[in-house]
Structures are given as structure tokens and as C-alpha cells.
Amino acid sequence: MITDLLVEPSPQDLGQVRSRLAAELPAPLPDSFTRWLAIHGGSSVRPPIRMPDDGGSAELASFFTAGEIVSNYRGLSGGVSEVIPLEFVLVGQGRGGGVCLNLSPADYGSVWFADFALAVRILPDDDTRSPDIMFRLFDDWDAFLAFR
């Protein structure tokens, strides 16, 4: 399981995590993810996990805290998160891309990979959001955690 590879988490109170995310995101994140985030948010992944991407070199190296998730979603951190379509929330990243949760009603809670290297190649600028850089990985967070 992925949780076996996590080091240096930054645990937070579950109620505070839920409140922060609910106040700042357009829809609630899946409860299984929110509970996991309160315990494991901010963790590094050692060794990094290979992720599917267009170039074959992407890795997942860390997961964000609730505050970092909000900052990335709101565009406060700038950079690569600004190419991810708004129905996705970036929850972790590494070289070449990031892991996202889908908030759209049709595929709520599914786990996706945002290929940042592909975005650099196909998007006209850093402010363009495109579903073309997104790759569906798993139906839900629990299935993703079981992956390794």
C-alpha cells in the first residue's frame, strides 16, 4: 500500500481539515480522502512512486496538507497547478505531474494524474487549463491507496 511508503506526515485535527477544505473548495472532498489527509497529509513518499505520463518519467514524491491543497486550488502558489481544470483538486505531486481528485458530479472522487510535462508541450501558456493533460487512474481514493 502507498501508506507504507509515507514519511514525515503533518497530522491535523480532522474537524479543522474538513472546515478548511469546505470553506475554500467548490465541493467537499471524499470523506475517505479527508480522513486520510488528517493523518497523512504533508507526507513524503519514499521511494517515489512511478506514475503514468506521456514521457515515462513522472513520479509521485509528496502529498499536500489541507492548507497546501487550498493554496494550489486557488492559484495562490502559481505554477503548474494553474493548468489543471477546475473540477480537479491537486493533492500530491512529484517530478512531471500530480495526483488529483475529481469533484465533478459525474465522476466524483475518482483519482487522476495531471501530466505537467505534457502541459508544457501542448498548452499555449501557463494560464490555460486543459483536460488533455489529465489521465484517469482509479475509481476512488481507497483503490488508489491499494495501488503500488
**Which residue type occupies 88?**
F
User: Which domains, from first to last, does the chain contain?
Assistant: 2-146 (3.40.1580.10)
CB 137 within 8 A of CB 113: yes
CA–CA distances in Å: residue 131 to residues 16, 65, 71, 112, 136? 31, 24, 21, 11, 11
Mean pLDDT of 83-88: 90
Residue 90 reports pLDDT greater than 90 = yes
Q: What pTM did the predictor assign?
A: 0.90
Nearest to 64 by CA among 30, 99, 29: 99
Q: What is the pLDDT of residues 35-62, one digit of tens each?
A: 999 999 999 999 998 887 666 678 899 9
CB 89 within 8 A of CB 103: yes
